[in-house]
Structure 1
Amino acid sequence: MEILTSIVGKITEYTVEPIVRQANHLIFYKGNFKKLKDSVEHLEDTRERIIHKVESETRNGKVIEKDVTDWLVKVDKVIEKAKWLQNDPRHPNVRCSAWSFPNLILRHQLSRKATKIKNDVVQVQSQESFDQIGYLPPLDVVASFPTRDDEKYDTRELLKEDIVQALADLNSHNIGVYGLGRVGKTTLVEKVAQIAKENKLFDKVVKAEVSKKLDIRRIQGEIADFLGLRFEEESNRGRAERLRQRIKMEKSILIILDNIWTILDLKEVGIPAGDEHNGCKLLMTSRNQDVLLQMDVPKDFTFKVELMSENETWSLFQFMAGDVVKDRTLKDVAYQVAQKCEGLPLRVVTVARAMINKRDVESWKDALRKLQSNDHTEMEPGTYSALELSYNSLESDEMRDLFLLFALMLGNDIEYFLKVAMGLDILKHVKAMDDARNRLYSIIKSLEARCLLLEVKTDRNIQMHDFVCDFAISITRRDKHVLLREQSDEEWPTKDFFKRCTQIFLNE
């Protein structure tokens, strides 16, 4: 009996049920399309809700998860199939009426398709279950750097190559770049970082601005942002330990510390030092080579950013000023204007942009006059403020007074300045000449490290860049009330000035 029941069950399964199922396609034609319509409308409502969430996440800078975008593509496809079937022009041929006999084969085909697509719709609907719609992508510091390869903003290719080579050196940990304010240090290290990323020297590159006003919490925050780290710790010490742990998770990482003025305690910030993490390297910039040396940068791995050459200056100036400098009547004076920018990239850009629409020679001559002005009121504000910041940061009045003295009597040798400094009592608390000489040499070396003096050559004469000298002379006149008379036909100042005047230098 059990065997007979089993046989009957199998016969029913393979014969009766398929017949019933096929018959249902004919009988429940309208019902199947109604179910399809309801399922599609439900899916469309769900899609609209998910799209609203996607748009909200996108506005907040989030990247949409792949499973969400893939699901939306599936939804569009299955809805498109359903709409096509619902709008099939053959529908009138399957209806029952008193005047015509329905096309049963077509009725069966369409009803069957409706059932299949409805099942597809339900299946896609069931996949709408996401842990999250979007996520915040990690910040890419290199991508945020300006890319201006076409304008030849920084043509110091050899220097860039040397720094990249130093970064690739297995024995290097700390690399330093130094130079005058606004000479282009930040731009240089940003381009080096781009090259390092292209060459896949590091898995991660992060950057923090240190600045003269040291703020450990801000530095920690800037580095953490580029690592996707969110601090829960309240104390700087706790944040430092958390940051150190996060940095160690990166197999290789380059940390750029820009604009360092004094020695920075890496442990206090949370940056692994020395052999603590061999995959972590530091690229630091400063106006002062001595600061870099104090930050354990080997002298061989310190690189000085010099002023741009005349050709580099002119090339950048032409690019920024545009076609106006190609005018034959303006080219000569435009070249002179460019060279009065003293090889400072930012100054070149500022002046060139100011002259971009000036097509009369009078305007160019007026610009040249301002740049040549000896009263220094026409010096580009950014350049002046950068030099003033360096000057105010000198360690002592001795160093500041000697810097100003060098500018007033530029070109003389060290021994001459030693006698003058002793005579003016600039070197304090020294009596013996050897002690005074040692003090003077020490200050000269410090000023060289800060790029306020050019390196002393074999002739032992003191030299500095023209615009640095101009700045120093403006300070002597403003703060020290010094009279510098360079030409015999120069007009003498007023009596009121002489009442305030502390020193007179005659360089006639």
Structure 2
Amino acid sequence: MDAIISIVGSVAQYAFAPIRREVGYLILYERNFSKLIGCVSDLQAVREAINHRVEAERRNGKIIEVGVQNWLVEVNEVIERANQLLEDPRRREVGCSGWSFPNLILRHQLGKIATKIATDVAGVQGKNDFNEVGYLPALDEIASSSATRGGEKLETRETFKEDILKALRDPKACNVGVYGLRGVGKTFLVKEVAKIAKQQKLFDAVVIARVSETPDIKEIQGVIADKLGLQFPEETIAGRAYRLWKRIEAEKTVLIILDDIWQPLELEKVGIPSNKEHIGCKLLMTSKNQDVLLKLDVQKDFTFRLELLNETETWSLFQSTAGDVVNDISFKDVATQIAKKCAGLPLLIVTMAKGLKSKDVHAWKDALCQLQSVGHAERDATAYSALELSYNWLANDEIKALFLLSALLEYCSEDYLLKVAMGLGIFKNIDTVDDARNRLHSIVESLKASCLLLEGNNASRHIQMHDLVRDVAISIAYHLNTMSSPRSSRKDRLS
């Protein structure tokens, strides 16, 4: 009997529950709408708070998470549905005010809709538990060096890029190396390869970092991490190396370009796995010396020497950089001779062409005379003379001083350069820090236009200079300070 009573009770409960719910829509009409209004008000407050976080993250350069964006869309939609119901003109027809008799059918319909929307509002609000609403994207900038940029596609360079890309596709090539003289265009070339690799989707991630003569391990780690969207909680080099290693391992395929290596670098100390440890990780490295690349486990067959430009390519690059002035009959002969004196080095070709393009024929002839006085076999001296001319062509002493200071500080931030320059009193007729910052920015852009500074990475805001240009700048600074070294010995300080 008890079992029968239990079964009957359960059946009655299931039978009457829907009836009770439907009656509730009718009887609790006002309460349902009050609840809806309260839920909407709470959700609007939460939406406002999330929107404030979203705007703050956007101002900090972060990308808003897709889940947050979808939630905001869902919130807007459900609030719109609620507002449409609250403003529905039929609500005035439900009755129960004054002597009017209630419209029971309409009252039931609207009460049911209000209950459903209130439930949806509460459900959406329950999804707002976001620890983070945005994230910093991985840096995707592979800047080209204005010191070697020209509008012409040079045949030997195009063939060379194809060879490098072929090697990167070769499964037998764990590491690939490029070597050649300073100023020959190694940095520009590997940046071009990086762009093509990204466009052709050869790797899931492509990053580039400069090593330099005096490697800063933390700086190298930071540059690679920035490009991969990684932030370091660790302070020690070893801790950061482990974190970077795990992040690189997370990429199925990754190309890491290490530029301007002077001595073998401890890759494990940086946090870069070898191809044996992570088969999807390939390294492309540049150096002046092939032996350095071989010591970094680059097979000799996958080291590529970047040669000087031939005479035809030299003239093509010089002409495209200097512009139509070289076709003028009064300039053509001297321009051709200056191009030849640049000895096939793209750095010198572009620097000289840019420096001369707006000058009269007398300045061109004077430049040629100074280059010819160096001699035929002294390449370093020719480089010094050409870059010294570019220095002399700078508009004023303020720009010259900032150029030399940039070389002496070596890869400093713009903010640090600003502090030192202000401390040394380099800026003239400047009263505020903001005015000095604007002046510095203008000078930096002018030096980039003269090809005495590299474009670098806008996000890092560090001053970057080709090592050959830096050597010349330091030599000039040394000479200005001592005024004791004869002109003919300057090239000795470049070695």
Q: TM-score range by the shorter chain?
A: 0.5 to 0.7
1:22-64 deviations in Å (ceiling 9; x for gaps):
4443343333222111110100101111222222333334333
Structure 2 counterpart of 1:230, one-letter code: F
Structure 1 counterpart of 2:70, one-letter code: D
Match of 1:183 in 2: 184
1:431-489 deviations in Å (ceiling 9; x for gaps):
xxxxxxxxxxxxxxxxxxxxxxxxxxxxxxxxxxxxxxxx9xx99x9945669xxxxxx
Question: 1:282, CA displacement in angstroms?
Answer: 2.6
Q: 1:371 to 1:68 in 2, by over 3 A?
A: same
Structure 1 counterpart of 2:77, one-letter code: K
1:235-284 deviations in Å (ceiling 9; x for gaps):
x5665566556655655443322112234344554545585555443322
Structure 2 counterpart of 1:373, one-letter code: C
- Confirm or deny that 1:230 pairs with 2:232: yes
Match of 1:379 in 2: 389
Higher RCO (Cα < 8 Å, 6 or more apart) = 2
Contact 2:179–2:289 (CA under 8 A) maintained in structure 1? yes
Instruction: Give 3-state SS (helix, strand or coil) of 1:181's partner.
Output: coil
Q: 1:165 to 1:18 in 2, by over 3 A?
A: closer
User: Which residues of 2 match residues 413-432 of structure 1 at below 5 A?
Assistant: none
Q: Which shows bigger deviation, 67-76 or 79-88?
A: 67-76
User: Which residues of 2 match residues 160-239 of structure 1 at below 5 A?
Assistant: 160-227=161-228, 228=230, 230=232, 232=234, 234=236, 236=237
Q: Which runs of 5+ in 1 are unaligned?
A: 386-470, 484-508
Structure 1: distance between partners of 2:241 and 2:392: 34
Match of 1:292 in 2: 293
Match of 2:86 in 1: 86
Question: 1:366, CA displacement in angstroms?
Answer: 4.2
1:277-300 deviations in Å (ceiling 9; x for gaps):
554433221233444344444443
Please give the root-mean-square deviation of Cα atoms over the aligned residues, in Å. 4.4
User: Which residues of 2 match residues 455-466 of structure 1 at below 5 A?
Assistant: none
Contact 1:313–1:339 (CA under 8 A) maintained in structure 2? no
Instruction: Give 3-state SS (helix, strand or coil) of 2:304's partner.
Output: strand
Contact 1:347–1:380 (CA under 8 A) maintained in structure 2? no
Identity of aligned residues (%): 48
Q: 1:202 to 1:233 in 2, by over 3 A?
A: same
Structure 2 counterpart of 1:372, one-letter code: L
Instruction: Give 3-state SS (helix, strand or coil) of 1:163's partner.
Output: helix
Q: Which runs of 5+ in 2 are unaligned?
A: 372-384, 394-399, 401-472, 490-495
Structure 2: distance between partners of 1:328 and 1:89: 79
Structure 1: distance between partners of 2:189 and 2:392: 19
- Confirm or deny that 1:261 pairs with 2:257: no
Structure 1: distance between partners of 2:226 and 2:193: 21
Structure 2: distance between partners of 1:179 and 1:478: 33
Question: 1:175, CA displacement in angstroms?
Answer: 2.3
User: Which residues of 2 match residues 66-215 of structure 1 at below 5 A?
Assistant: 66-98=66-98, 103-140=103-140, 143-146=141-144, 151-152=151-152, 156-215=157-216
Structure 1 counterpart of 2:361, one-letter code: K
Contact 2:151–2:320 (CA under 8 A) maintained in structure 1? yes
Structure 2 counterpart of 1:107, one-letter code: R
Match of 1:333 in 2: 331
User: Which residues of 2 match residues 297-316 of structure 1 at below 5 A?
Assistant: 297-309=298-310, 312=313
Q: 1:305 to 1:38 in 2, by over 3 A?
A: same
Instruction: Give 3-state SS (helix, strand or coil) of 1:176's partner.
Output: strand
TM-score w.r.t. structure 2 length? 0.63
Contact 1:254–1:280 (CA under 8 A) maintained in structure 2? yes
Match of 1:53 in 2: 53
Question: 1:123, CA displacement in angstroms?
Answer: 1.3
Instruction: Give 3-state SS (helix, strand or coil) of 1:90's partner.
Output: helix
Structure 1 counterpart of 2:112, one-letter code: R
Structure 1: distance between partners of 2:288 and 2:366: 27
- Confirm or deny that 1:29 pairs with 2:32: no
Structure 1: distance between partners of 2:89 and 2:312: 75
Structure 1: distance between partners of 2:285 and 2:197: 15
Question: 1:13, CA displacement in angstroms?
Answer: 4.9
TM-score w.r.t. structure 1 length? 0.61
Q: 1:44 to 1:381 in 2, by over 3 A?
A: same
Structure 2: distance between partners of 1:340 and 1:39: 78
Contact 2:326–2:335 (CA under 8 A) maintained in structure 1? no
Structure 1 counterpart of 2:331, one-letter code: V
Structure 2: distance between partners of 1:18 and 1:269: 67
Contact 2:355–2:390 (CA under 8 A) maintained in structure 1? no
Structure 2: distance between partners of 1:212 and 1:184: 17
Contact 1:79–1:121 (CA under 8 A) maintained in structure 2? yes
User: Which residues of 2 match residues 387-406 of structure 1 at below 5 A?
Assistant: none
Q: 1:211 to 1:150 in 2, by over 3 A?
A: closer
Q: Which shows bigger deviation, 275-284 or 117-126?
A: 275-284
Larger radius of gyration: 1
Instruction: Give 3-state SS (helix, strand or coil) of 1:306's partner.
Output: coil
Instruction: Give 3-state SS (helix, strand or coil) of 2:116's partner.
Output: helix
Structure 1: distance between partners of 2:87 and 2:150: 56
Structure 1: distance between partners of 2:18 and 2:174: 76
